[in-house]
Amino acid sequence: MLLKKYDENYGYLNARLRARMDLFLKREDYLKLANGDLYGLEAFILEGQFGGNYREELLQSNLSLEKRIDEALARGIASNLQKVKAFAVGEPRLLLELLLMRADLHNGRLLLRALKTESNKTQKAPKWYAFGALPVSLLEELWDCKSNKEIIGKLLLNGHKIAICLARAVMELEQTGVLPQAERKYLSQLVRYAMDKIEDITGKNKKIILEYIHRTIDIWNFNVFSRKSRRNGEDAAYAKYFMDVQGLIERSRLFKATSWENLLVGTPWARVLKSIGVNYNEHVVLRNVIREFLFWQIYQRRKDLMGIGVAIAYIAMQLVEWQNLNTISVGLQIGMPSDQILSRLILLER
Amino acid sequence: MEKALIALAAALAVGLPALATAYAQAKIGSSGAGTIAEKPETGGIIIILEAIPETMVILGFVVAIMLILQFA
């Protein structure tokens, strides 16, 4: 401890997280839910870890059953992840804040897209991820703003570094009117912020977080690459949206590659090629890339019991469970057969 | 001179395991606290796990006594 800049409590944090991992739903739980009905799902949620939030929604609102489930799951996950952050002290706290920045990335992109299409003027605010650094109340305020300048003012006034990153992205959108450019600006600003934060950290935890950031950059680049490969002959137009910071895949490779095989073979993403087979389309590749990233995160729980990997895995597992429960809820609402619901779930047997 | 070396050996026999025990107990203690917070029923096992590193100091202490009684 004397040699480190930050204090840490990985032992305590990871013990709590590992104990909580036992609560995640298993394949047979999902099977039971998918074979049941919405009322069964409601009863299940009432009894489980999302129960507290569900009861609150049930008592306080006049929402429909479907909306209550949706709202309770969203609130439940936010309160769980905020609680986890509260368990951590020193280095793990700082790293958890960076990991939960994915909520700020998601929320910021929602806002930027709404500003581009001006849907914030006509539609209700979307469901924000409530576990990021920027509070939902601020996002709601931003949504109701009359102009981009007002949004930028509010963000700068807030003063949080992430708010300033978002302000710069809104400025970019205001100046250029190009959404991908504004989104790219936001992501690159967040990456720089994260890099600054981990500058003083040393050792294997920094290495894992760096890989996490690099993989996030790769996911962005894959999306750009997907558009580039769909529009032959317009390479240059899309190539400028590749991130300026390098991920696990070199920038030169991104520019030169003409197919997914060229791009991924021999890289840490090579396993995606096995899972997509021969006949695939862009959506399948992108979905499998996201899955691969999730599996990488979940695998981290086994690598070091006294490091940040357990928290990375916990957050990923929590997000997967949320997504699966939402899929089941939507599947039941539209009367989808249980086998089709199950085929859309992400089951973590690996 | 010989007595001083024996005293030093006895001190090391207790001191080094004591440091190792302290380190191990700190790690086990913090992890144990986290586990008990989530699963109170594991309390008994955690106390046993917390006590296991103590054996290192006890053995070190026995070695120190033997050194002193044998050679001093």
- Chain A's closest residue to B28, CA to CA, is A11
* Chain B partners within 8 Å of A11 (Cβ): 27-31, 34
Q: A10-24 b/e with 16+ CB inside 10 Å = b?
A: bbbbbbbbbbbbeee
What is the band of A236 on the pLDDT scale with cuts at 50, 70, 90?
low
* Chain A partners within 8 Å of B39 (Cβ): 19
Hey, are the CB atoms on B33 and A12 less than 8 Å from each other?
A: yes
* Chain A partners within 8 Å of B30 (Cβ): 9, 11-12, 15
> Looking at residue A5, what is its pLDDT?
64
CA distance to partner chain B, nearest, from residue A79 (Å): 16
* Chain B partners within 8 Å of A21 (Cβ): none
What is the band of A1 on the pLDDT scale with cuts at 50, 70, 90?
very low
Q: How much is the mean pLDDT over chain B?
A: 94
% of chain A with per-residue pLDDT over 90: 61
pLDDT at A69 over 50: yes
Mean pLDDT of A268-280: 82
CATH numbers and ranges of domains, chain B: 1-71 (1.20.20.10)
pLDDT at A106 over 90: yes
- Chain A's closest residue to B30, CA to CA, is A12
% of chain A with per-residue pLDDT over 70: 94
Q: Which two tokens stand for residue A49?
A: 């870890």
Q: What is the pLDDT of residues A258-270, one digit of tens each?
A: 888 889 989 999 9
pLDDT at A222 over 90: yes
Q: A91-120 b/e with 16+ CB inside 10 Å = b?
A: bbbbbbbbbbbbbbbebbbbbbbbbbeeeb
What is the band of A235 on the pLDDT scale with cuts at 50, 70, 90?
low
Picking from A10-24, A70-84, A108-122, A203-217, which range would have the lowest pLDDT averaged per residue? A70-84
> Looking at residue A231, what is its pLDDT?
65
Q: Which residues contact A136 (CB under 8 A, 6 or more apart)?
A: A128, A130
**Three-class SS of chain A:** CCCCCCCECHHHHHHHHHHHHCCCCCHHHHHHHHHCCHHHHHHHHHHCCCHHHHHHHHHHCCCCHHHHHHHHHHHHHHHHHHHHHHHCCEHHHHHHHHHCHHHHHHHHHHHHHHHHHCHHHCCCCCCCCCCCCCCHHHHHHHHHCCCHHHHHHHHHHHCCHHHHHHHHHHHHHHHHCCHHHHHHHHHHHHHHHHHHHCCCCCCHHHHHHHHHHHHHHHHHHHHHHHHHHHCCCCHHHHHCCCCCCCCCCCHHHHHHCCCHHHHHCCCCCCHHHHHHCCCCCHHHHHHHHHHHHHHHHHHHHHHCCCCCHHHHHHHHHHHHHHHHHHHHHHHHHCCCCHHHHHHCCCCCCC
Picking from A23-27, A56-60, A214-218, which range would have the lowest pLDDT averaged per residue? A56-60
Hey, are the CB atoms on B34 and A16 less than 8 Å from each other?
A: yes
CA distance to partner chain A, nearest, from residue B71 (Å): 38
pLDDT at B72 over 70: no
pLDDT at A350 over 60: no
Chain A interface, best mutation among B35, B42, B49, B50, by max A CB count within 10 A = B35
> Looking at residue A299, what is its pLDDT?
92
Q: What is the CB neighbour count within 10 angstroms for residue B51?
A: 11
CA distance to partner chain A, nearest, from residue B69 (Å): 38
CA distance to partner chain B, nearest, from residue A15 (Å): 5
> Looking at residue A232, what is its pLDDT?
60
Q: How much is the mean pLDDT over chain A?
A: 89
Picking from A64-73, A118-127, A152-161, B36-45, which range would have the lowest pLDDT averaged per residue? A64-73
Mean pLDDT of A256-284: 85
What is the band of A52 on the pLDDT scale with cuts at 50, 70, 90?
confident
Q: Which two tokens stand for residue B3?
A: 């007595």
* A51 or A143, higher pLDDT: A143
Closest CB to B30 among A11, A19, A20:
A11
Closest CB to A20 among B27, B29, B38:
B38
Mean pLDDT of A146-151: 93
Check: CB of residue A346 under 8 Å from CB of residue A294: yes
Distance CA A34, CA A235 (A): 44
Distance CA A311, CA A309 (A): 5
Three-state SS at B53: coil
Chain pair A-B, CB pairs under 8 angstroms:
33
pLDDT at A56 over 80: no
Distance CA A13, CA A308 (A): 9
> Looking at residue A134, what is its pLDDT?
95
Q: A305-324 b/e with 16+ CB inside 10 Å = b?
A: ebbbbbbbbbbbbbbbbbbb
* Chain A partners within 8 Å of B38 (Cβ): 15-16, 19-20
Hey, are the CB atoms on B37 and A20 less than 8 Å from each other?
A: no
User: Nearest-CA neighbor of A91 among A12, A6, A171?
Assistant: A6
Check: CB of residue A239 under 8 Å from CB of residue A221: no
Judged on CB neighbours under 10 Å (0-12, 13-18, 19+), B54 is middle
* Chain A partners within 8 Å of B49 (Cβ): none
* Chain A partners within 8 Å of B28 (Cβ): 11
Q: Which two tokens stand for residue B21?
A: 């025990």
Mean pLDDT of A324-341: 92
Q: Which two tokens stand for residue B12?
A: 């090391």
Q: Which two tokens stand for residue A22?
A: 């036992």
